[in-house]
Amino acid sequence: MSVDVYERLREFLDSLPGGYPETESGVEIKILKKLFAPEDAEMAVCLTQFPEPVSAIAGRSGMEEPEAGAILESMAKRGLIFRIRMGDDIFYMANMFVVGIYEFNVNSLDRELAEMMEEYLPFLTRSLGSIKTKQLRVVPVGAAIDAKPSVATYDRIRELVKNQEVAAVAPCICRKEKWLLDCGCDRPLETCLLFGMGAEYYIENGIGRKITIEEALRILDLAEESALVLMSTNAVDILNICCCCKCCCGSLMMLSAGGQPAAQMQSSYQARIDPELCAACATCLDRCQIEAINERDEFMEIDTVRCIGCGLCVTSCPEEAISLDERTDVGPPPANIVEMKMRMAQEWETRLTPGRGQPPLS
């Protein structure tokens, strides 16, 4: 067994879109050692980010198919890799660390891992912000766009959910992490929604519980009431919806701390306040998770450099002074997760290739 197997695993994960950068403290290696046994790490570096049968992976690992299959299935059950079942055929693929391995380990998250992730989060979020195509996109809460007949289906969150056949829900790992560190908020915990093959994976592995589509819609209502930003898979065919708050969500914390959140998050809309209708009641200030509203003498004003178009301010305005405007600089999302990953992979390769694109963040 190679003594540097965890360093090879770190390099492998860092080669995937989203990255897994090295740190001076080595906390990223400590995280891997907590999650992966040495034989898991050896197998993980034999995978690709697209689904493959056991035979293809066994060939690269130098193992017989039964042995390789047993290790792969064990890793899939522990959230270290992703498994897809198509009839009697089984396929396995590598996971990015986020969104992926970390979220799949929500049930095994303990204080030790939470503390290590708090230390590592700034490095991960910087890496995630370095390519154009993101894993998640902001979708307006349902009530914010119900009156707009021109809104594309991929921006109608309730329609996206109604079209699903299988749904599951799991605890939000961001809020669970904060609770373990004694700094959690009072928003609901069980709000991470999964659909399709994502839901099937969560249900089979006991990461989340199966729910009806009606239950999923009620969770969306609860998220809107709780001022949670909806972030779905950055694709027309969604696999998940995160319900995020700025006090716990790493992505929102990174965006809020930055100077240009609107440019860093994929979203089709931005809010607009009519100063003639605004009563300056400041209700919207409490709802905004990204500090994108400025208080003037007689009215509120949207900071278009910061607004990510979540719609939370729209639904709470008693004067109906806020609306969402479609952004003209944003095109439709990828058709599905495969197209999304292909785009991300191309952008990531450009980033890592000397002389092309931007140099990697240190």
At 65, the pLDDT band (50, 70, 90 cuts) reads very high
Pair (146, 179) in one structural domain: yes
Residues 161 and 194 in one domain: yes
Pair (166, 243) in one structural domain: yes
> What is the CATH classification number for the domain harbouring 88?
1.10.10.10
Instruction: Mark whether 92 and 9 lie in a shared domain.
Output: yes
Instruction: Provide the number of structural domains found in the chain.
Output: 3
Whether the per-residue pLDDT at 252 is higher than 90: the answer is no
Provide the 10 A C-beta neighbour count for residue 31. Answer: 22
Name the pairing type of β-strands 293-295 and 269-273. unpaired
Beta-carbon-side half-sphere exposure of residue 289 (alpha carbons within 13 Å): 28
- Summarised one tens digit per residue, pLDDT across range 211-236 is 999 999 999 999 999 999 999 999 99
Give the percent of the chain with pLDDT over 70: 93
pLDDT exceeds cutoff 90 at 355: no
- Do the strands 136-138 and 266-267 form a parallel or antiparallel pair, or are they unpaired? parallel
Mean pLDDT of all residues belonging to the chain: 90
Answer whether residue 146 shows pLDDT above 70. Answer: no
Q: So what's the pLDDT on residue 131?
A: 79
CA dihedral 14, 20, 22, 27 (to 10 degrees): -140
Tell me whether residue 85 is in a domain: yes
Task: Please provide the distance, in angstroms rounded to a whole number, between the alpha carbons at the two ends of the chain.
Answer: 30
For residue 352, being part of any structural domain is answered with: no
Domain assignment of residue 103, given as a range: 5-126
Domain boundary residue among 84, 102, 126? 126
Whether residue 343 lies inside any domain: the answer is: no
Q: What is the DSSP letter of 98?
A: I
* pLDDT at position 122: 84
Q: Which residues contact 361 (CB under 8 A, 6 or more apart)?
A: 21, 126, 127, 130
CB 161 within 8 A of CB 220: yes
Quick check: 55 and 45 in contact, CB under 8 A? no
CB–CB of 90/161 below 8 Å?
A: no
Give residue 167's Cα distance to chain centre. 17
Task: Tell me if 339 is assigned to some domain.
Answer: no
Q: What is the domain-level CATH number for residue 297? A: 3.30.70.20
pLDDT over 90 at 18, yes or no: no
pLDDT score for 264: 85
Residues 79 and 189 placed together within one structural domain of the fold: no
Beta bridge partner(s), residue 170 = 192
> How many CB atoms neighbour CB 71 within 10 A?
23
If one counts every other C-beta atom within 10 angstroms of the C-beta of residue 114, the result is 16
Number of other residues whose CB lies within 10 A of the CB of residue 6: 19
pLDDT of residue 347: 87
Q: Is residue 168 part of a domain?
A: yes
Among candidates 149, 141, 132, which has minimal Cα distance to 271? Answer: 141
Output the pLDDT for position 148.
Answer: 65
Per-residue pLDDT band for 358 (boundaries 50, 70, 90) equals very low
Q: Is residue 92 part of a domain?
A: yes
210 lies in the same domain as 134:
yes
Q: Does residue 291 form part of some domain?
A: yes
- Could you give the percent of the chain with pLDDT greater than 90? 73
What is the C-alpha R_g of the chain?
21
Check residue 352 and give its pLDDT.
55
324 pLDDT more than 60: yes
Indicate whether 192 and 242 sit together in one domain: yes
Residue 361 pLDDT class (50, 70, 90 cuts):
very low
Q: Are 159 and 153 in contact (CB under 8 A)?
A: yes
Q: 3-state class of 195 per DSSP?
A: strand
Closest C-alpha among 2, 18, 270 to residue 144: 270
Contact 46, 14 (CB under 8 A): no
Residue 351's pLDDT is what? 66
**Alpha helices for the chain (secondary structure H):** 5-15, 27-35, 38-44, 54-61, 65-77, 102-104, 111-128, 142-145, 157-162, 173-180, 196-204, 213-225, 250-257, 261-264, 283-287, 312-316, 337-352
The H or E element containing residue 245 is none
| Same structural domain, 286 and 220 | no
